[in-house]
Amino acid sequence: MNRPEAVLFLKSFFSELKIPEGDPSVWVKKAEPFNKLVLSLKADLPVSIPLLRELAAIEKGADLVEAKTGLLFAKINRLYLRLRRTQDELGRLDLKKAAPGVSPEDYIFSRIDFSRYREMRGKDFDTIFPAGLTDFDDAFLKKNFGLSRTELHSLIKESYKKEDDVYRIKKDNPLLLSIMRTLDTSLESAPLISAGEIEQELKNLLGFLGVSEKIPGMELLYVYLVSGLGGKSVLHEDGMETRIFISPQGDLMATFRPDNKPWTRTLIPGIMNQVP
């Protein structure tokens, strides 16, 4: 399909999209022609559409784990690792050992082992940083640390030195330790995929095709693409499986099983509410 043909196809495709109703599993079929177009694009084209490519491949049958370098697998896997670490730490707590007059919150904080962030294996460090910063929105980062995403990235990068396969902190910094702790354990992650991310990649695709204006109806594609993740699963390195589903309320959910103990988390709240 050449560029003029692709543009005509997209205009026709988006014009036929309607606000989804009924069973979410049916919505996925509507996105098939679009996904087919995306998969037909050569990988070396000068257009940045990693999420569109990954979602299209998943809908064609690719397992999320088959592309471990994929954005979605990485995000889901990091959330799983945070849940597993949180569960491990909670399992080691014994509130009965708290000193008289010490609140449960203060006791829990006193038991946090910040020393692990002073020296980290390369694999652990690379899992947390820098990609872990993308799991939280700008407002969360600013509220908790008073720094922008760019400032946090620079602070972490400049504060560690790699020797062999170990990252060591250059100088103790309570703020830095708190940041790394948050990236390692916080469960307040941003939505797995935002409507804005899909819109930006669509703009990139249209720009590559020579279209500068927004095509009516393209904002609805987000719902159809995200719905395709319902019913998928992720197998983690420790053998545990995470199952993804859409709740009756229209949330994209996932049930994680660190140490085979279920944790159900919301990946994207109110999919339909994301449509402008």
Give 8-36 pLDDT, tens digit per residue: 999 999 999 888 777 777 788 889 999 99
| Between residues 254 and 86, the one the model is more confident about | 254
Instruction: Report residue 186 as tokens.
Output: 């916080």
Question: Quick one: pLDDT at residue 105?
Answer: 55
Question: Quick one: pLDDT at residue 271?
Answer: 86
| Between residues 104 and 239, the one the model is more confident about | 239
Question: Quick one: pLDDT at residue 101?
Answer: 62
| Between residues 179 and 105, the one the model is more confident about | 179
Question: Quick one: pLDDT at residue 20?
Answer: 76
Q: How far, CA to CA in Å, does 271 sit from each of 32, 85, 229? A: 19, 28, 12
Average pLDDT over residues 94-110: 58
Q: Is 206 strand, coil or helix?
A: helix
Rounded Cα distance between 35 and 230, Å, is: 16
Across the chain, mean pLDDT equals: 87
Question: Quick one: pLDDT at residue 86?
Answer: 85
Domain boundaries, the chain: 3-70+191-274, 71-185
Sequence-ordered strand ranges (E) for the chain: 119-121, 160-163, 166-169, 233-235, 241-246, 252-256, 263-268
pLDDT of residue 106 exceeding 80, the answer is no
Average pLDDT over residues 204-233: 92
Rounded Cα distance between 162 and 110, Å, is: 29
